[in-house]
Structure 1
Amino acid sequence: MSSDTEAATSSTEMIAETSDNTEKMDEIDEPETKRRKLTKNNEMDEKKNRLEDRLGGILCCAVCLDLPKAAVYQCNNGHLMCAGCFTHLLADARLRDETATCPNCRVEISKTAATRNLAVENAVSELPSECQYCGKEFPRNTLERHEDQMCEERISGCKYSRIGCPWRGPMHESKQHEQDCPHPRRTGAEVMEALQVIDQRVAEERKLYENIFELLGYEKITMNDLQLKPYRTEEFVHRLYYETSRFSAFNNQWVVKARINNSQKDPTQSSERDMTYQLILKTRTSCPLNIHFVILHGPFGDMKILPRIYRFDFTEDENESPYVALSLPDTAECNRLLAAKTINFRFIMFLA
């Protein structure tokens, strides 16, 4: 009996040992790619459960579903919108002659009906975000400085780009490239093409400044701080346009009129938006008026504009200048102006 028991025990131990050896062999024989895949899946599951990722889904904009980069607005029911989407909603409502509403709950929103949420802005600024160049995570309030100044993987150009070198690459490779760059050893005739492009750009800037100083020497100069207010045309489709009140200059009455996307039928269907304006003489003139005019943001407005001087000869038959570009930097600035009740600017006129 004892020998049978010992045999059974020995057999059980051998089976258990064989099982352990089999598991160890399976672990050894498991492919490396499979282990990496399992490890990666576990890391992704862990990442999904991180607090910052869950907060990112809660604090995102209700329109674009992305985390805000600057100001955060909320409707009366607390739904969040980034500054870009908020002004876009207000601009669309202005173009359609409708009341702007929250995309979630349809409650009315406006510059006064919506409020900034500073707590969300501060929370979002502390959430981590990946650098677009190196892939490392940094708090969002320091990410821009890292990408612009510190990241070694950020895209950089060659210091000889002014003489035609087209190289662009990671910042840490720029020194080695500049040592090997062939452009410093090119002849003057070979780099003339690149220098001509630079000269043309400088000439355009110089022409603008020379024109300004020349106009400042004119005897008759007038300056008015004006407001563009929104109106609707009397057509079947009521298009939006802007117009100032009448103002006096050079013993005449004038009006500035502006329109969106050159009176496009439905500007809300376009992702790109711009404004053009014209100067209109409202009184009759007995002699031609050679007028130069320019729009600036002025002391009462915050319009971001690139000053550009225009000229038109007003006569008894030609009392409206053609529509010219209001030189805004981008569509976002145009939406911001449309979202406001009025557009304030300074208008300077020169009479030759």
Structure 2
Amino acid sequence: MSSLEERDVGVAAAPGSSSAGLGVGAVGVAVEAVAGVAAMQEEVAIRREGPEPDPDEPPKKRVKLPEGEAGKLEERLYSVLCCTVCLDLPKASVYQCTNGHLMCAGCFIHLLADSRLKEEQATCPNCRCEISKNLCCRNLAVEKAVSELPTDCTFCLKQFPRSSLERHQKEECQDRVTQCKYKRIGCPWQGPFHELPAHESECSHPTKTGTELMGILGEMDQSHRRDMQLYNSIFSLLCYEKIGFTEVQFRPYRTDDFITRLYYETPRFTVLNQTWVLKARVNDSERNPNLSCKRTLSFQLILKSKVNSVLECSFLLLKGPYDDVWIKPVIHHHSFSNDTNETDYVPLPISDSVECNKLLAAKNINLRLFIFQVQK
């Protein structure tokens, strides 16, 4: 480089400087200093981070990102679209309050049921605005967005969109839990799907003797016989001469005790030319059912008419024509008279506490009652 070029560089590097040589020297020192600092930062970063992770190592627990640090889009959407109550992504319907806070269907129904038990107005746990089935609506955009977010398969731990996860886990996953095809003759084996052919080729149950298989099948048929006995009993009741049914509506009331308790009662109705009333209670009149996650309903049938002779009846409750709650039919029997005009409280045969919360969250409980009079 010529002396003229050196002077030009010096002037450009340090405008207003009185010496060109001083400008060249400053640039060189600055470059060396920057390179040294960069090397030190890289070395410190390597020491902090440690060696590169092994790609075969199992995934570690997700670490919360520091504020201001950008994470994956899925992680950011997770915190935006999660339920404000359980802080998990909704699996089905998504409801929102009037201010837009999201609640999954299970938490939304649970909040409404709790407010019914405590005789309070249900509120959003985030902003405390009032919530109800009339005030809240579903957010279809969030439901569709959540269905496209990835989630881990329970069996193979690979990620799939939530919309296709159910089909993958039921039909495609090679690690899904399956059972031997000889389960019908008592084989208890269950394991990953990819091990099924090897097991079935070595399964010992097809070679069992007839005597051994008869013992196994006898035990398995017991539950089937109980179901058949129930349905045969229902068909027998349908052959009775006097049959009556009606739609009943349980309405919520409070007791007059110091600590009020929630109970349900129907208006008087007429079946088989007699006047009746149904009552129901929560958790068998437990003192604070709102503090329990387990919810049950039990009911009793009361004869309000006066009768001249004993009225022997069979009865059962089923879900109403417009409700989505599932009730397993159970037949009850009672001999009604003027002295024994009330049945004992019997459980309403619903599957679990989730179904019970559906009933509690509604303004009224609508069911269908059948009464069959036994002819002597």
TM range (shorter): 0.7 to 0.9
User: Which position in structure 2 is the counterpart of 1:301?
Assistant: 323
State the percentage of identical aligned residues: 52
Kindly report the root-mean-square deviation, in angstroms, between the aligned alpha carbons of the 2 structures: 2.4
Distance (whole Å) between structure 2 residues aligned to residue 120 and residue 217 of structure 1:
52
Decide whether the 8 Å contact of 1:296 with 1:305 is kept in 2.
Answer: yes
Cα distance, 1:46 vs structure 2: 12
Q: Cα–Cα, structure 1 residues 167 and 44, in superposed 2: closer, same or farther, change >3 Å? A: same
Cα distance per residue 1:186-235 (max 9 Å; x no partner): 22333344312222111111111111111111000011011111111111
| Structure 1: gaps (5+ residues) | 1-25
1:242 partnered with 2:259: no
Cα distance, 1:324 vs structure 2: 1.1
Cα distance, 1:105 vs structure 2: 1.1
Which of 20, 33, 52 is the equivalent residue of 1:35? 52
User: Which position in structure 2 is the counterpart of 1:228?
Assistant: 250
SS at match of 2:131: coil
Distance (whole Å) between structure 2 residues aligned to residue 42 and residue 300 of structure 1:
48
Which of 259, 267, 274 is the equivalent residue of 2:281? 259
User: Which position in structure 1 is the counterpart of 2:365?
Assistant: 343
**Under a length normalisation based on structure 2, what TM-score does the superposition of the two structures give?**
0.81
Number of residue pairs aligned between Structure 1 and Structure 2? 322
1:172 partnered with 2:172: no
**Where in structure 2 are the equivalents of 1:1-352 lying within 5 Å?**
34-36=51-53, 49-352=71-374
Cα distance per residue 1:132-155 (max 9 Å; x no partner): 111111111111111112211110
| Greater relative contact order (CA < 8 Å, ≥ 6 in sequence) | 1
Q: Cα–Cα, structure 1 residues 172 and 223, in superposed 2: closer, same or farther, change >3 Å? A: same
Q: Cα–Cα, structure 1 residues 249 and 123, in superposed 2: closer, same or farther, change >3 Å? A: same
Greater CA deviation, 297-306 or 177-186? 297-306
Pair member with larger Rg = 2
Decide whether the 8 Å contact of 1:262 with 1:275 is kept in 2.
Answer: yes
Cα distance per residue 1:222-260 (max 9 Å; x no partner): 110111111111111111111111000122110111111
Distance (whole Å) between structure 2 residues aligned to residue 332 and residue 104 of structure 1:
23
Q: Cα–Cα, structure 1 residues 46 and 282, in superposed 2: closer, same or farther, change >3 Å? A: closer
AA partner of residue 51 (structure 2): K
Cα distance, 1:39 vs structure 2: 10
AA partner of residue 218 (structure 2): Q
AA partner of residue 223 (structure 1): F
Distance (whole Å) between structure 2 residues aligned to residue 298 and residue 62 of structure 1:
32
AA partner of residue 180 (structure 2): C
Distance (whole Å) between structure 2 residues aligned to residue 45 and residue 51 of structure 1:
15
**Under a length normalisation based on structure 1, what TM-score does the superposition of the two structures give?**
0.86
Distance (whole Å) between structure 2 residues aligned to residue 339 and residue 121 of structure 1:
22
User: Which position in structure 2 is the counterpart of 1:3?
Assistant: none
AA partner of residue 362 (structure 2): A
| Structure 2: gaps (5+ residues) | 1-42
User: Which position in structure 2 is the counterpart of 1:17?
Assistant: none
Cα distance, 1:43 vs structure 2: 12
SS at match of 2:250: strand
Distance (whole Å) between structure 2 residues aligned to residue 285 and residue 96 of structure 1:
39
Distance (whole Å) between structure 2 residues aligned to residue 45 and residue 92 of structure 1:
34
